[in-house]
Every structure is written in structure tokens, then in C-alpha cells.
Amino acid sequence: MSSEEHDEALMLEAAMFGNVPDQTAYRFGYPHRQIPRPPSPTLTAQRLLREQQDDEYLAALQADREKELKAQQEAEHRRLEEAAAREAALQKQKHEEEENHRKQLEEEELERMLAAKQASLPQEPSPDDENAVTLLVRMPNGSRRGRRFLKSDKLQFLFYYIDIGKVVKPASYRLVRPYPRRAFTEGESELSLSELGLTSKQEGISTALFDATIVTLVGGSDVGVKGCCKDAKSIERLGGNDGGAVGSNVEGSLWSLGGDRAITVGRDVGDYAIGTGVGWRERRTL
């Protein structure tokens, strides 16, 4: 019987028989309070050890997660690099194929053009023809080519003859007679040999590859770019169309392929002149 049940029994007996229980016998049961004792050093050490082990486990777990994440990031980086390398290789291959195809088309077009030039060459006159001119052409590599033409033949046929020899590229050169010195360009192709003064029984001609001189013109609305140089083959302009004027305070660049013809302010260039009101900011030979 518990202390609570014992107390209730005593009180019930007093109520029934009128007996008051002895004060010493009647006691209420209160829980006994225990004074806490300090933890033992062994338990404290065990608790600290468990906490240390828990911290080490969590740190190791975090390190493993970070290591795994880093490995995933490095794998993704490698994947992207490999994909980029494959794409670059494909682009390079595509570019090379396109470039090869372009060169092939250019070569095929060049062969068709040379075949047409070959077919259009007039028949070579006999050596004893009074109207024949023997043109000896010195090539840039030092070799020589010679052929007879009629004085009435156009200069264009001489260019054709040189082109089909495949020593120099078409339109990359001009012809120069050493004495009296005279340069001939494809701009004069429609003129006959007689009109150009090539009338001797034998004429020596040399080929000169174009050298490019770039002049940056500043100002001068009266400057026609194509009119600046008779022998211009390629024109690069800023602020206008080819052949137009270089307007006031507008810079334009002229590529002169005339070779020995200098472009100088106020001096004639071939049959043309640059206006005296024009200055050149830069001049350099390529």
C-alpha cells in the first residue's frame, strides 16, 4: 500500500470511530528531495569525447560533400571544355572545307578564263611579216617569254599571252618598256600596239608586280578618288562611294597601284591631278 492509500485509510477510520490518529502516526508523504551531486570526471570526459567525435564526424561529412561537389563541378567543366573543343574543331573543319571549296572554284574559274584567253589569242604572224612585232617579255622570276603580234593587235592580247603562262597572276602586274620608259596597264588594253608606240621589229618588255601605296586624303571636295591615279586598281574609301569626291573634313584612303607614280599634293598623277587644297595625312608604301 502506498503512503497516500495509508493516509486515506487512517482518515476513514477516524471518521467512522472517532479516533484521532496519533500525530506521530499521521504523516503526509512528501517526495524526498535529493541534493544534486557534481558529475564525475569520468562522465564529463566521456561526454566531451562524444561531442568531439560528433564534431569530427560532421566535419568529415561536410568535407566529403564539398569534395563530391568539386568533383561534379570539375567534371562539368571538362565536359564543357570538350564540347567547346569539338565545336571549335568542327568549325575549323567547316572553315577549311569552305576555304578549299572557294579555292577550288577560283582555280576552276581561273582555268576557264585562261582557256578563253588562249582561244581568243590571234594567230601568230610569220617572222617575215612587215607588220609583225616580236615582244620579248621578262617575267618577275627572271624567265623570258616571246611571241610575235601584229602592230594592229590590241595590248590586251599581250596580257592574255602572259596570263596563260601562269607565271604571274592576272591583274597583279603591269608592263614596262625600259627605253623610252613607258608603263602599260590593263586600262590601255583596248589600244593597239601601234597606238602605244610598240612598232619596232623587236620590243623588250618587263613585268612589274604592283606595289601598293596608300595615301590618306583630308578635305577637298574637288577630289575624285578614281581620278587621283590613272593606274588605280583597288580603292578603299571612307565616307563615300568609289569614284566620288572626298568631301570637306572627310578622310578618304586611296590605294594606288601605279608603282612608280607618286601621289603628291598639287602634282600631276598620270593624266590627273590632286587639288592643291587637299592635304595628305599619312603616306606609306606596303
Residue 196, phi then psi, degrees to nearest 5: -90, 0
CA distance 87 to 89: 5
Residue at grid coordinates 618588255: 205
Paired sense of beta strands 132-138 and 144-150, if any: antiparallel
Ranges of each domain in the chain? 132-209, 213-285
Residue-level pLDDT at 226: 39
Residue-level pLDDT at 259: 35
Q: What's the CATH architecture for 132-209?
A: Roll (3.10)
In Å, what is the CA distance from 265 to each residue of 69, 116, 275, 277, 278?
Answer: 71, 42, 7, 8, 7
- Do 257 and 231 contact (CB within 8 A), yes or no? yes
Residue 242 CB neighbours (<10 A): 11
Return per-residue pLDDT of the chain as tens, 286 residues.
Answer: 566 676 677 676 666 665 555 554 445 455 556 666 777 888 888 888 899 999 999 999 999 999 999 999 999 999 999 999 999 999 999 999 999 999 999 899 999 999 999 999 999 999 999 999 999 999 988 899 999 999 999 999 999 999 999 998 888 888 999 888 889 888 899 999 999 999 999 999 999 887 544 444 444 333 344 344 333 333 333 233 333 333 333 333 343 333 333 333 333 333 333 433 334 334 433 3
Residue-level pLDDT at 21: 52
CA distance 90 to 69: 31
CA distance 97 to 28: 107
Residue-level pLDDT at 10: 66
SS3 261: coil
- Do 168 and 162 contact (CB within 8 A), yes or no? yes
CA distance 13 to 151: 163
Q: Where are the alpha helices (DSSP H) in the chain?
A: 3-17, 41-120, 155-164, 225-228
Q: Is the dihedral of CA 168, 171, 173, 175 positive or negative?
A: positive
Q: All 3 cell numbers of residue 280? A: 595628305
- Within 8 A by CB and 6+ apart from 88, the residues are none
Residue-level pLDDT at 253: 39
